[in-house]
Amino acid sequence: MSKNYIVGFPRIGEQRELKKVLEEFWAKKCSFEAVAQTAHELKARHWKYQRDAGADFISSNDFSLYDNMLDTSVMLGAIPKRFRHLKDDELYFAMARGNKECVAMEMTKWFNTNYHYIVPELSLEDSYSLNASKIMDEYREAKSLGIKTKINIIGPITYLGLGKRVDRGDVYELWGKVVPLYEELLKTISTLDDEVVVQIDEPIFAKELDIKVLSLIKPTFDRLCNVSPNIKIAVVTYFEHSNEATKILVHTPIWAIGLDFLHGDENLKSLDIIALSGKKLIAGVVEGRNIWRCDIEKTLELLESISNFVSKENILLSSSCSLLHTPFTLRYEDKMDKEIKEWLSFALEKLDEISLISKIFFDTQSSLNNAQKEALSNNIKANQSRKNSPLIHDKTVQDRVNKHTKLQREGDAKERLKLQREILGYKDLVTTTIGSFPQTPELRKARSDFKAALISQESYEAEIKKYIDECVAFQEECGLEILVHGEPERNDMVEYFGEQLKGYGFSQNGWVQSYGSRCVKPPFIYGDISRPKPMTIEWITYAQSKTSRIIKGMLTGPVTILNWSFVRDDMPRSEVSKQIALSLSDEINDLQNAGIKIIQVDEAAFKEGYPIRGEKIKVYEAWATRDFKIAVSSAKKETQIHTHMCYSEFNDIIETIEDMDADVISIETARSGNELLKIFKKVGYTKEVGPGVYDIHSPRIPSVEEMVAQIELLLEVLPKEQLWINPDCGLKTRKWEEVKPSLKNMVEAVKIVREKLKS
């Protein structure tokens, strides 16, 4: 009996082969045939890996040259007008990345993961038509290698729900246009074989859907199931529970329902109706988006409780979601601490976990062969070691967290700001930047040479100091008022802190696809977090020693550090975040004692951590805000605390932002005009705000006039006493040739507006 089910597999390649060939192709250094060849090799290798690990359900069409949502747009012929004159790979990559004439389609986060998809641009006027070739080809490609795959497609309700209407109106008005194409697709697929399993991903069912969308579920799946008796449909959801949708799905003729029991344990409540329906349950019980070795004993308990409802012969065992969100394999991690490595499991290792658990659960423990017995005993050992290892458990940290009572700073913001303005003496419309300055090739080289022990610590530090000298000198010359050190010592705003905190680990090859060819390698938190020594003082005080103007110190906030790391699963995230917050509060204390008067605590990923379901938002907001406040609780009234957030949709979270109690917040409004700022006025925001006056994401140099106009627009909404003037994010990805004139123009614009305000 077939029972091991893999929802989806990473595609970038264990050595990021796909990334490399794509980037060569884009740089015109190889042909598209080379891309196709690499893609073919990767697919073949990935299918074999899964088969050799004993997977029974292996996917085709989970591969993509860029993104599966983009593939779905191509499949439906939903090509925005501006691209229609293009063909094949030129068309495909232009939609993803833009070209000289056409801007790319928008990209946004896939639910609460760090994967980004290409947002469909939909319009009622457009006529759509089916292009099933990729799906058909991939199925045949696998079959020719002797592997019969299930076919993965993104379901119509998710596809539409994640799209946007370019002609205004509700995306679901296109339901009647799109569903017939899915029917046609299934009809085409049904010619492939006597029986084909089609996995229809509907992760949108994990959201709270309104009744209108819920009412589309039954007609959609009734129709799709009706297409051909050759096709068995599995509807798969993940990242949260989908109980509302499950209630409906059980009344459609689908063959199986896939649920995530780790991120949505409320799915357990649906087991009785699934059992009654007699459908297969694809039970997502092995973590698909984290890096921890699964605790097999615990997983077996979970499976037992599931099988109290759904009989074993109706259960298929799977990962909680596609393994796309986890790194590829531990094989190449030869530098990692041996004990820590034992605690981890990436995609390939998870395949083995699924097989092993399935063997024990469906057969018996005594049926294990010797290798399996050993794997089980290693698993038990590794989990024991995690429970007891001194690398993880630090009593001093735990005691401190438990006893910690200072939850916020003294005084209210109004009183603090009055005091701070007396001490700091800045003018209205004070100018500053968000922290980083260009990361030059020389800087990157110095850092990698230092890491590889090719240059000494002294010469590395001399290089950083030279950068800081020049950076401070430029800011003075340019006329900026509150300066920064430029962050030259930081590779990344989270990794830099992770490297200095105890409890953090790093992989050499733990890449996860973020979008297209872009991959990230998140650090991981395995143990209690503490700060062995100050992390930023040296560089920031060095910068301060070079100028009489105020240097603003830069830290990354607790919630962002948490959200951009893989987080231990043996402790609630809120506890981990509190530990980070306490380390940061020590850093802030050290910074102010060293004479730093303004400290910015970046929370770029605060919004990103929001739960998928509204019902869970309050809890997240409560601890996330608590931990930001704990981090800054050591700041004296005189020390001004800034925070920076990389987005502008504040309407729904403005009260939470206010509650974070930072004295100054800088935000990204440059691209969205000042409409969004109105919310600050509406709620009577009393603290100071730095809405970005130009977009740093583009190489364009904004003119003085346009920034004058932008500042004047801001002044229509907020009074000059409340406004800071700054770019909308850090400058690290820009070049000095762009940054210098842009900032000079910004300062010039402020001068002009100040003059105008006088008269």
Active centre residues (catalytic): 697
Q: Which does 353 bind (CB under 5 to 8 A by kind): Zn ion, ligand GLN, none?
A: none
- For ligand GLN, the closer CB: 160 or 478: 478
- For Zn ion, the closer CB: 676 or 753: 676
- For ligand GLN, the closer CB: 573 or 644: 644
Decide: 117 and 70 in contact? Cβ < 8 Å. yes
Q: Which does 602 bind (CB under 5 to 8 A by kind): Zn ion, ligand GLN, none?
A: ligand GLN
Rounded distance, CA 755 to CA 727, Å?
21
Quote the least distance from Cβ 746 to Zn ion, whole Å: 16
From 98-106, 152-160, 462-470, 642-650, span contacting Zn ion (CB under 5 A):
642-650
Quote the least distance from Cβ 610 to ligand GLN, whole Å: 17
3-state secondary structure 575-635: HHHHHHHHHHHHHHHHHHHCCCCEEEEECCCCHHHCCCCHHHHHHHHHHHHHHHHHHHCCC
From 346-354, 545-553, 640-648, 706-714, span contacting Zn ion (CB under 5 A):
640-648
- For Zn ion, the closer CB: 274 or 646: 646
Of 480, 448, 628, 650, give the one whose Cα is nearest residue 549: 480
646 binds Zn ion (CB under 5 A): yes
- For Zn ion, the closer CB: 376 or 554: 554
Decide: 656 and 625 in contact? Cβ < 8 Å. yes
Q: Which does 435 bind (CB under 5 to 8 A by kind): Zn ion, ligand GLN, none?
A: ligand GLN
- For ligand GLN, the closer CB: 21 or 665: 665
Quote the least distance from Cβ 493 to ligand GLN, whole Å: 5
Quote the least distance from Cβ 604 to ligand GLN, whole Å: 4
- The rounded Cα 619 to chain-centroid distance in angstroms is 20
Q: How many residues bind Zn ion (CB under 5 A)?
A: 2
Binding letters toward Zn ion, positions 500-529, x by CB under 5 A: ------------------------------
Tokens read off for 447 = 């850092």
Q: Which residues of 149-163 are buried (b: 16+ CB within 10 A; e: fewer)?
A: bbbbbbbbbbbbbbb
Alpha carbon distances (Å) from 321 to 5, 128, 204, 259: 11, 30, 13, 9
Rounded distance, CA 189 to CA 199, Å?
12
CB atoms within 10 A of CB 545: 11
Decide: 443 and 461 in contact? Cβ < 8 Å. no
- Positive or negative: CA dihedral 609, 615, 619, 621: positive
Quote the least distance from Cβ 600 to Zn ion, whole Å: 11
Decide: 408 and 633 in contact? Cβ < 8 Å. yes
- For Zn ion, the closer CB: 519 or 729: 729
Q: Which does 323 bind (CB under 5 to 8 A by kind): Zn ion, ligand GLN, none?
A: none
Quote the least distance from Cβ 437 to ligand GLN, whole Å: 8
Alpha carbon distances (Å) from 701 to 538, 607, 741, 744: 33, 29, 7, 10
N-to-C CA span, the chain: 84
- For ligand GLN, the closer CB: 201 or 495: 495
Quote the least distance from Cβ 159 to Zn ion, whole Å: 30
- Positions 714 through 733 that interact with Zn ion (CB under 5 A): 729
Rounded distance, CA 147 to CA 143, Å?
5
- Positive or negative: CA dihedral 219, 223, 224, 229: positive
Q: Which does 609 bind (CB under 5 to 8 A by kind): ligand GLN, Zn ion, none?
A: none
- For Zn ion, the closer CB: 306 or 696: 696
Residue nearest ligand GLN by beta-carbon distance: 730
Of 55, 270, 189, 269, give the one whose Cα is nearest residue 257: 270
Rounded distance, CA 196 to CA 143, Å?
12
Decide: 510 and 526 in contact? Cβ < 8 Å. no
Quote the least distance from Cβ 729 to Zn ion, whole Å: 3
Quote the least distance from Cβ 399 to ligand GLN, whole Å: 32
Amino acid (one-letter) located at 497: F
Say what angle helices 347-362 and 32-52 make with each other, to 10 degrees: 30
Q: Which does 105 bind (CB under 5 to 8 A by kind): ligand GLN, Zn ion, none?
A: none
Of 513, 534, 510, 531, give the one whose Cα is nearest residue 521: 510
Quote the least distance from Cβ 106 to ligand GLN, whole Å: 19
Quote the least distance from Cβ 726 to ligand GLN, whole Å: 10
Q: Which does 546 bind (CB under 5 to 8 A by kind): ligand GLN, Zn ion, none?
A: none
Rounded distance, CA 401 to CA 395, Å?
10
- Positive or negative: CA dihedral 728, 443, 519, 142: positive
Q: Which does 554 bind (CB under 5 to 8 A by kind): Zn ion, ligand GLN, none?
A: ligand GLN
- For ligand GLN, the closer CB: 635 or 646: 646
Amino acid (one-letter) located at 448: S
- Strand (E) or helix (H) holding 737: helix 736-758
Rounded distance, CA 304 to CA 392, Å?
30
DSSP letter, residue 176 = H
3-class state of residue 651 by DSSP? coil
Decide: 320 and 287 in contact? Cβ < 8 Å. yes
Decide: 71 and 89 in contact? Cβ < 8 Å. no
- For ligand GLN, the closer CB: 729 or 743: 729
Rounded distance, CA 237 to CA 248, Å?
14
Where does this chain bind ligand GLN (CB under 6 A)? 434-436, 487, 493, 554, 602, 604, 644, 646, 729-730, 732
- For Zn ion, the closer CB: 546 or 607: 607
Q: What is the CA radius of gyration of the chain?
A: 27
- For ligand GLN, the closer CB: 161 or 609: 609
Q: Which does 436 bind (CB under 5 to 8 A by kind): ligand GLN, Zn ion, none?
A: ligand GLN
Tokens read off for 189 = 């697929």
Which residues share a beta bridge with 486? 436
From 168-176, 271-279, 364-372, 643-651, span contacting Zn ion (CB under 5 A):
643-651
Quote the least distance from Cβ 660 to Zn ion, whole Å: 16
Quote the least distance from Cβ 471 to ligand GLN, whole Å: 12
| Footprint of Zn ion (CB under 5 A) | 646, 729
